[in-house]
Structure 1
């Protein structure tokens, strides 16, 4: 669904470009920065991720997983490179993992396929914990469909309580929202149709972070646009209320005049809040 692909035009002129070089040495003391690109975690060409390991890391080093958008049917980890670069620059003590996942098509529904991919990645990170020199503590930063996957995995599939925070930028949260079910907008209908023919209430609740959140859900930070043509404002507002009712630590920002992505001062505000939230709950 190409129309649902998020476009983030990052205008952080004041931020420098991070220059990173790969370091294959794992025996140096202290450890140096290390990166591995297109690490395979499955047989599909989309099952790859990039990992950036900070200098001076230890087995207490936390991990931030970036999950791209694209309506579950398109997109690539390269779309997250601007946020990856900012994370490397401003969160230098956190390991960054920028992932691809299998894309949905007419023969492959996004759920549970893409959730299974995230589970495989998390398990692989644990298997290679001593090699990477990282902890099991992770956070998620997702945009659009990637934000939906980040919240859903964190709320419903984190059986070991490894997730310490999750960030959603314009992520769909509740597929039982009347704004979706009673819509007459073909773009909004595409979102429901992507998940196949099963539109029963039970199934829609199963794939909705809103319905999977509990009192033990990890700290969550939410960003939404008041003029978003693809994600109704109610998605963010209702998620905010649900997390408040559950007593989950969270923050919610609604930019009244923004759409499905934003630039300039609003984007600077987003990163400032994201950085502080991540430093508080993950670093």
Structure 2
């Protein structure tokens, strides 16, 4: 499940080319008054367990918040470079925020996505908290597709220390028990390949993997972006989570656009961008 980078990529093209601004600086100085980039920071022994960290000028351990970007790819592919366009947009329009653009271990035959990928997200959060990066313990997620699912699942189900303050899902799955999925053998086969667990044998297991079932009255503010003709993510995935969060009294914003898996018009893409930036400024 991979978006086509339209969500932010179009904005980069329309507004300003920023890719030349990022540079590797693995021997980062202690001077926090200048912006710094740390590429491929390791948080585990696997080669995929790395993230890029972008620290703003004058970062401060008491006030600098961090946005964690989580790529898509159906839990089996994708790379943090897929989110580089989002890095540049955040740096341009939210320059006071730190950014962690992350990789996680990809699922493969016998190497199941869960709980492996949630463990990786947690390891990233813990490293960001425990290392002396000059950032606070306040984090927000922006995830696309499978990365949106992981972002919501962690924010709702694993935020025991209240470190996560907001989450954004761009076409992320929310409910693995949705009949649109469970009545589709291709999805049931994917479920088994990702988990090693047959849905029919243990549907409760799939509830535990579904942000819809992990949301509570204390869940973090959430912003959702979906397409009404998405061949991978039925509209019900966003609509039902929106209704559940409303029922729980959790602040959320739900946006449904004409189009598919991030394949939206220029006008809708710009609208989504504007709403996301405003949401972060107001809720994080």
* TM-score tier (shorter): over 0.9
Q: Paired residue for 1:192?
A: 191
- Equivalent in the alignment of 2:156: 155
Consecutive unaligned residues of structure 2, counting only runs of 5 or more, are none
Residue pair 2:188, 2:198 contacting (<8 A) in 1 also: no
1:213 equivalent in alignment to 2:215: yes
Q: How does 1:105-124 map to 2 (within 5 A)?
A: 105-124=108-127
Q: Distance in 2 between matches of 1:202 and 1:99?
A: 29
1:164 aligned residue: 165
Gaps of 5+ in 1: none
Q: Report the equivalent of 2:86.
A: 83
Supply the distance in 2 between the matched residues of 1:248 and 1:17 (Cα, whole angstroms): 37
The superposition leaves residues 100-143 of structure 1 with CA deviations (integer Å, 9 ceiling, x where unpaired) of: 00000111111100000011011101111xx2110000000000
Aligned to 1:271: 273
3-state SS, counterpart of residue 132 of structure 1: coil
Find the counterpart in structure 1 of residue 2 from structure 2: 5
**What is the rounded CA distance, in whole Å, between the counterparts of 1:237 and 1:104 in structure 2?**
28
**What is the CA–CA distance in structure 2 between the aligned matches of 1:91 and 1:46, rounded to whole Å?**
28
**Cα contact 2:165–2:220 (8 A) shared by 1:** yes
Paired with 2:66 and 2:122, the residues of 1 have a C-alpha distance of 14
Query: For 1:140, what is the secondary structure of its paired residue?
Result: strand
Compared CA separation, residues 190 and 67, structure 1 to 2 (3 A) = farther
Distance 1:191 1:267, change over 3 A: farther
Ranges of 4+ aligned residues in structure 1 off by more than 4 Å: none
Aligned to 2:254: 252
Name the CA distance, whole Å, in 1 between partners of 2:152 and 2:254. Answer: 14
Using the alignment, how far apart are the partners of 2:229 and 2:195 within structure 1? 24
Q: Determine the structure 1 residue equivalent to 2:103.
A: 100
CA–CA separation in structure 2 for the residues paired with 1:143 and 1:189: 22
Aligned counterparts of 1:44 and 1:52: Cα–Cα separation in 2:
22
Taking the aligned partners of 2:47 and 2:53, their CA distance within structure 1 comes to 17
Contact kept in structure 1, 2:143 and 2:169, CA below 8 Å = yes
Q: Deviations over 1:165-213 (max 9, x none)?
A: 00000000001111111235x3x44542333233212101110000000
Task: Please state whether the residue corresponding to 1:36 is helix, strand or coil.
Answer: strand
Q: CA deviation at 1:7?
A: 2.0
TM-score, structure 2 length as denominator? 0.92
Q: CA deviation at 1:21?
A: 4.3
Contact 1:71 1:191 in 2 (8 A): no
The number of equivalent residue pairs is 272
